[in-house]
Every structure is written in structure tokens, then in C-alpha cells.
Amino acid sequence: MMKEPYYEIDYEIEAMFDEQGDFPLQCAALLFDLLKFDRNVIIKNQYTIKAEKASAISKYIKNGHNCFYEWPESPLGNYCIWIKESFLTNQKLVDLLRLQGTFLSYIVPSDSFDWKEFLENWKEDEKYLLASGQSLFVCNVVDMDRVLNINFNTAVFSTERINCIIHEWQDAINHIADTSQMRRTETQVRGKNGDKYIVRLSFL
């Protein structure tokens, strides 16, 4: 049986103490740190116009090391930044992740990643990068609830390693939430790309 090119899982994270709605983003950054992603990441934002865009992005593009692109058909709400330089922690990128409104992608390109092709296929589902081997990992932040749609390239990450990372991540989330009242539910659904799990974490 042929192995799927990527492993997909959704996380819906809600917390009573999360007044600003940033907790799922902080949890996402925690996962990225556990995966040791500290350079060479692309943040692609779509369908969202926010006044904070210019100030949040300016510090990443002023040195000339990183790449910035705005989609010509709708540049204010559709853009991406390829952060090539190293950074200490993904928590530093939360200001960029906060620009999400409808659909934002955190993409870790592989050595075979083609920047020009990526821009030409701007409207394509980012998962094609996993299927073609151009990405190691993609996390999409979806809708106002900030659901985390997490995708691992199975040529790089074994199922055992993914399960280990997810378990460690959930423990870390519980730790930063500083509460023992976590409720976890898990369901399996049939998605357009095959079966996937949806995990709901509720902090009371």
C-alpha cells in the first residue's frame, strides 16, 4: 500500500482565558519550536487586510536577506514573506501570525523548493508543496477560530515521530495553559485528501 505524501491533523484549541484569540497562535509557535524550525520559513497570508501589516512586516524585509511578495491582483490582503535568516524562537513571529484573518500558512520549504513556481501557483492549495516534495511541513491557520490544520511530509517524518511530537506538544500546551481542566476529544473524518483526525482541546 502506497504511503500518503503527508500526514494531516486539525487542532481546534479554545480557552476561556484567551480574550484576544491569540492562544492557538502561541500553541502553533510552540509546535514550530519543538520541531526546531528556526530559519527558512514562509508565512503566506490570504484574503485579509489589516492595518498592522506594514509595521509587522517591516522589520523582516528592511535588511534585504528575506523575500517579500504581494499578489498583484490583491496585494493588500494577499502576500508572503520568506524568512531565510535565523531567529531565536517562533514566539517572535506571533506578530506576523496575528495578521491572519481567514487563511494563513506557515510553510517550511525543502531543498527542492521553487520560489518562482510557488508564486506562479499562488491560488493553489499549499498541500501541493508536500505532495511534490517541495515542503517539509505546512500549518494552515484557518478562519476566525484559528483552527490549526497541521501537515507533515511523510517522506521526512515517520508516523512514530509525528505521534511523539504531537504528544510532547500537547503536554507543553497544557503546561503553558497553567490549568488542569483540559478536555480533549478526537474524531476521524473523511477529508478531500483522505482520512484525517480532528482534535479539540478545551481549557475551562
Residue pointed to by grid coordinates 510553510:
107
Domains held by the chain: number? 1
The answer to the question of residue 95 being in a domain is: yes
Residue 86 corresponds to which cell in the numbers above?
535565523
Q: Strand 6-15's sheet: what is its strand order?
A: 67-70, 79-83, 41-46, 103-109, 135-142, 147-153, 6-15, 194-203, 182-191
**Model pTM score:** 0.94
Buried b (16+ CB within 10 A) or exposed e, 79-111: bbbbbeeeeeebeebeebbbbbbebbbbbbbbe
The answer to the question of residue 111 being in a domain is: yes
The answer to the question of residue 159 being in a domain is: yes
The answer to the question of residue 64 being in a domain is: yes
Q: In tens digits, what is the pLDDT along the chain, a chain of 204 residues?
A: 446 889 999 999 998 888 888 999 999 999 999 999 999 999 999 988 888 898 899 988 887 889 999 999 999 899 999 999 999 999 999 999 999 988 999 999 999 999 999 999 999 989 999 999 999 999 999 998 899 999 999 999 999 999 999 999 999 998 888 766 888 999 988 766 677 889 999 987
Q: Note down the domain range covering 39.
A: 6-203
The answer to whether 148 and 104 are in contact (CB under 8 A) is no
The answer to the question of residue 108 being in a domain is: yes
Helix (H) or strand (E) holding 57: helix 53-61
Residue pointed to by grid coordinates 491569540:
22
The answer to whether 10 and 73 are in contact (CB under 8 A) is no
The answer to the question of residue 1 being in a domain is: no
